[in-house]
Structure 1
Amino acid sequence: MSFTSFSQYVLLKPELSTSSFFAFKDVVGRVSGSVALESEIGAFNLMAKMELDPSKTNSKYFHIRFSHNNKYWCRNNAGDGFIVAVSTTAEEDITKESCTLFEASSSSGEGVFNLVHVPSGFFVEVGSEPDGRAVVVKGATAANRLTFVNWQTIPRIHRGNDSHQTVYAVSSDQDTANKDTLFWPIKMDEKTIALRCEANNKYCSRNRFYYDYLHAAADTIVNEARFEVKERVSSRKIYDVKYQLDEARIYNKEPFIAGSAMLTNKSNDKATLTSAITYEEQSTSTFTSTWSLTGGVKVSFEGNLCEAVKGKVEVSVEVKKEWSWSEETETKKSSTVNASADVPANTSIKISYIGTKGSYSVPFSYSQEDVDSATGEHTVTQHYDGIYYGSNYYNMDFEVAKPIPL
């Protein structure tokens, strides 16, 4: 099973598990950062969302990183065989105990695979201890057959309650095995879903004869089977933003040349020359949360942005503005620096202003204040699912070339 068979954001679980997924978990009395099976929240556990980063050395290999805290899977260096997530840095050297490379080996069934820890060649499975921690074992068995769920297909919808004008189910059957009462939401975009009936795998749409009824009869997601999600919120404010800077990650680093200038000294004496270099600074910022459906609510934000400085992420300027979750904001501005160097007589020197362009992600917590559009009631909740994505230039400095005789 190739790396390209996976989506970028996934949930991993044993093939035989229905609602338990591998998640980042601090097990009491165990090593911090355990990877363990977690069933309490299921697919909506923000600590279960993972990203698969391709290897730079072998197209078959990849790194598994928890999205929320940027911690990579690896085998515990204590030699006990447990899988842990303790480092924010990927390691490709398979001779090192801290190597974070894995490979998916095809198994029986579509989308079913064995997850191989590359340095050891062992297979990942749920250990025998009650805490459900993941371990690596030597042989491929039914116990280590895994499967994955594409995170982006799982809509997370804010819940509300309207005791007067809501839609009520007529069934009083509380048995979740009754497929006639089970529906799977399919995310279409940031505001739209479709509902698939578990009983017949058809989509709910408006009944052509009884306009107040939903009818699970559409074979495809026709226009009548699309539902727009709207929250009962007139305004939303995000504040008290706290970044977990120790869990920040900088990636996609590449050299950046802002500009250069030629300093020419035509005199017979050494001279200190200066020239201005003008360039365009670009930066981006995006705030995301695990709520995959925004419900069309604009957000009033009060807090700080972040930026990469000298190879690490720091808190930057404070802003107050209106924005939407997952909406990228790009900032451009013209900057000028003075390039200066001592130029020998009758020579020219090229001086360049260079640095690094990098992207980064930082988890953050925040307070959210909502105003109910029906009652005007204010509700304040605490959230720990934010991830800030940004990019900017950093480590800017001058590079002076060797003098060239005139």
Structure 2
Amino acid sequence: MELHQLRLLIGIVITAMMEKMTSGALPKSIALQDGPADIFAQDGSFFYRHGTSDVVSGYEQSQPAYSPATKIIVEQSTVNNKYVHLRFYINNRYWSRDTRDNAIVAISNQPIEDTTDPSCTLFEPNFPSQNEVNFTHVQTGWRVIVKEVVVLDRLSSRLYVEENSSGTNLGFVDRETLIILPDHPIAFIHGKYLKAYDVNGKRLQFGSDKATDKESLHSPSMMSNGMVVISSTYFDSLWWVNTSNDSNWIYGGDYTTQVSPRAAIFKVVKIDEIAIALLNPSVNKYCVRSTDNCLAATSDDITSEAIIFVDELVTERQILNLAYILADQRIYGETPFIAGTTTLTNEEDVDLIMPVEITYTDEKSYTFSRGGGRLNANVKSTISTTPWFISTGRLVIPGAIIINEAFEWDTADTTETEVTAVGTVSVPKNSTVTVSYVGTKGICSIPFTYTKADKSAIDGQTTYQNRIRGGIYEGVSYYNFSFQVVNN
């Protein structure tokens, strides 16, 4: 299959996923807001965990759908496929009910499926319409509602469960399909770079050979609901679709108050790590390279002409100063692990304490994530930190290795070390036993903040962005070993 055909197929599949009606299942991750989701809304606030427990919206500041603080992981129940757990991504805390006032809180770092336990974390989603959901708290059978409350003279929305209530419909944004474009000038490519083109209107044309020319620079700005507006650096104006002559040209200039704000809103659809498609919801068309190689919103589908490559205009990136938030760590996925076995024979007429040793490969792996939704766009990145792993007693401790190397987000790196476990076991008289070295394999998940240092391809300067939230580290390791003896 040709590369462009593969990208087209991926795009078509993603489009179908986005456009289908909700049919009883939530995406793997979501953001929730009070009221229906509106792709044209200029502002809005989504629910997040405030302080140590409260699930609120709009208390200290509005949190957008693309914020790591509002990302909620939807985990399927193991006892009933109608039920789900809702866990905040950034701090590993599950929703449950506060028995004191029936407020929804996010306290537990482990799911609780016992429906007789007041701390049960199970909820049943119900779907009144597309992109809307309400929840039933399984342990009580009560619906989740939104209440406006005043805390320290500040108005905010909080979630509660209430008996005999029909519940509140919450708008949800699919975080699995939400793409976050960089918040600095970037370039778009389809054969050539997209540039300002002042012929028959201030349009945009794939006609430049140089990404860093002023004409080729464009600056995205994310809206609270995950949509994006884009401005042309050269025209110093927002992009917008001009429907005046049915051509649907995308203009990079001449944006005025006479133009509907909806015309300037775009939805980004991810094709792969370096390519996107742009949908203009006001005309419900994808942007394509059209006549004169200019950009126009004219396609109903993601065709090969709709696939646009992104250049972040960053020559190198360093991820520094990782600060692990150990208070929000989570251990999960624990399974038994047999490192190796051997046999011992006692030919004496008395029980013996016999030495034993088993050699095995100790494997550790680690992954750094940043919440999804971002392109990698071929930026060479390095990271400097010490990975953490679960050790004896389920304590999470720093590993013995220090890494300062190239890496990719969401890609596991693995180290292997040959280890010989030495000990003694009791072997009954005149018998042969099988000795196994048995431990546990588990995953520790730890949120972290970090500094990002980007060297610009435009001017060669390095800019630093400090204390970025949304990083999640996961380390996989073996621990809690012991020798176990089975008589043959």
Q: TM-score, normalised by structure 2?
A: 0.75
Q: Sort the Cα spacing of 1:175 and 1:86 in 2 relative to 1 into closer, same or farther, 3 A.
A: farther
Question: Among 266, 272, 283, which residue is 1:183 paired with?
Answer: 266
Asked whether the 8 Å contact 1:37–1:126 carries over to 2, the reply is no
Residue 57 of structure 1: aligned partner: 79
Residue 136 of structure 1: aligned partner: 161
Q: Sort the Cα spacing of 1:90 and 1:392 in 2 relative to 1 into closer, same or farther, 3 A.
A: same
Q: Does 1:200 align with 2:283?
A: yes
Query: Aligned partners of 1:270, 1:127: CA distance in 2, in Å?
Result: 70
Q: Which amino acid in structure 2 is aligned with residue 164 of structure 1?
A: K
Q: Does 1:99 align with 2:120?
A: yes
Q: Which amino acid in structure 2 is aligned with residue 81 of structure 1?
A: N
Q: CA deviation at 1:133?
A: 1.1
Q: Does 1:83 align with 2:83?
A: no
Residue 354 of structure 1: aligned partner: 438
Residue 29 of structure 1: aligned partner: none
- Deviations, residues 282-313 of structure 1 (Å, cap 9, x unaligned): 22211111352122212111111011112232
Q: Which amino acid in structure 1 is aligned with residue 261 of structure 2?
A: N
Question: Which secondary structure state, in structure 1, belongs to the residue aligned with residue 148 of structure 2?
Answer: coil
Query: Aligned partners of 2:463, 2:297: CA distance in 1, in Å?
Result: 36
Q: CA deviation at 1:175?
A: 7.9
Residue 390 of structure 1: aligned partner: 475
Query: Aligned partners of 1:269, 1:88: CA distance in 2, in Å?
Result: 50
Q: CA deviation at 1:339?
A: 4.6
Aligned length: 393
Question: Among 375, 398, 406, which residue is 1:322 paired with?
Answer: 406
Q: Sort the Cα spacing of 1:44 and 1:2 in 2 relative to 1 into closer, same or farther, 3 A.
A: closer
Asked whether the 8 Å contact 1:112–1:147 carries over to 2, the reply is yes
Question: Among 170, 180, 185, which residue is 2:253 paired with?
Answer: 170
Query: Aligned partners of 2:431, 2:459: CA distance in 1, in Å?
Result: 77
Q: Sort the Cα spacing of 1:176 and 1:243 in 2 relative to 1 into closer, same or farther, 3 A.
A: farther
Question: Among 358, 381, 393, which residue is 1:299 paired with?
Answer: 381
Query: Aligned partners of 2:134, 2:259: CA distance in 1, in Å?
Result: 30
Q: Which amino acid in structure 2 is aligned with residue 50 of structure 1?
A: I
Q: Sort the Cα spacing of 1:177 and 1:241 in 2 relative to 1 into closer, same or farther, 3 A.
A: same
Residue 199 of structure 2: aligned partner: none
Query: Aligned partners of 2:179, 2:257: CA distance in 1, in Å?
Result: 23
Query: Aligned partners of 2:264, 2:477: CA distance in 1, in Å?
Result: 49
Residue 66 of structure 1: aligned partner: 88
Question: Among 166, 178, 198, which residue is 1:154 paired with?
Answer: 178
Q: Sort the Cα spacing of 1:2 and 1:223 in 2 relative to 1 into closer, same or farther, 3 A.
A: closer
Query: Aligned partners of 1:111, 1:149: CA distance in 2, in Å?
Result: 7
Identity across the alignment (%): 30
Query: Aligned partners of 2:36, 2:28: CA distance in 1, in Å?
Result: 23
Q: Which amino acid in structure 2 is aligned with residue 400 of structure 1?
A: V
Q: CA deviation at 1:177?
A: 5.1
Q: Sort the Cα spacing of 1:121 and 1:176 in 2 relative to 1 into closer, same or farther, 3 A.
A: farther
Q: CA deviation at 1:343?
A: 2.3
Query: Aligned partners of 2:24, 2:477: CA distance in 1, in Å?
Result: 29
Asked whether the 8 Å contact 1:50–1:66 carries over to 2, the reply is yes
Q: Sort the Cα spacing of 1:216 and 1:88 in 2 relative to 1 into closer, same or farther, 3 A.
A: same
Q: Does 1:273 align with 2:354?
A: yes
Residue 453 of structure 2: aligned partner: 369
Q: CA deviation at 1:3?
A: 9.6
- Deviations, residues 194-217 of structure 1 (Å, cap 9, x unaligned): 10011211110111x211x10111
Task: For structure 1, list consecutive stretches of 5 or more residues without a partner in the other structure.
Answer: 27-31
Query: Aligned partners of 1:243, 1:178: CA distance in 2, in Å?
Result: 41
Question: Which secondary structure state, in structure 1, belongs to the residue aligned with residue 176 of structure 2?
Answer: helix
Residue 242 of structure 1: aligned partner: 323
Query: Aligned partners of 2:428, 2:214: CA distance in 1, in Å?
Result: 85
- Deviations, residues 307-359 of structure 1 (Å, cap 9, x unaligned): 11122322223211111111221233332223532323311222210011112
Residue 119 of structure 1: aligned partner: 139
Question: Which secondary structure state, in structure 1, belongs to the residue aligned with residue 348 of structure 2?
Answer: coil
Asked whether the 8 Å contact 1:114–1:140 carries over to 2, the reply is no
Query: Aligned partners of 1:163, 1:175: CA distance in 2, in Å?
Result: 30
Asked whether the 8 Å contact 1:3–1:54 carries over to 2, the reply is no
Task: Say which is worse superposed, 282-291 or 167-176, in terms of deviation.
Answer: 167-176
Q: Which amino acid in structure 1 is aligned with residue 95 of structure 2?
A: W
Residue 299 of structure 2: aligned partner: 218
Kindly report the root-mean-square deviation, in angstroms, between the aligned alpha carbons of the 2 structures: 2.3
Asked whether the 8 Å contact 1:14–1:125 carries over to 2, the reply is no
Residue 49 of structure 2: aligned partner: 24
Query: Aligned partners of 2:402, 2:23: CA distance in 1, in Å?
Result: 40
Q: Does 1:254 align with 2:335?
A: yes
Question: Which secondary structure state, in structure 1, belongs to the residue aligned with residue 390 of structure 2?
Answer: strand
Query: Aligned partners of 1:175, 1:139: CA distance in 2, in Å?
Result: 48
Task: For structure 2, list consecutive stretches of 5 or more residues without a partner in the other structure.
Answer: 1-20, 39-43, 150-154, 186-211, 218-231, 236-251
Q: Which amino acid in structure 1 is aligned with residue 469 of structure 2?
A: Y
Q: CA deviation at 1:269?
A: 4.2
Q: TM-score, normalised by structure 1?
A: 0.90
Runs (4 or more) in structure 1 with deviation over 4 Å come to: 1-4, 174-177
Q: Sort the Cα spacing of 1:364 and 1:345 in 2 relative to 1 into closer, same or farther, 3 A.
A: same
Q: Sort the Cα spacing of 1:16 and 1:268 in 2 relative to 1 into closer, same or farther, 3 A.
A: closer
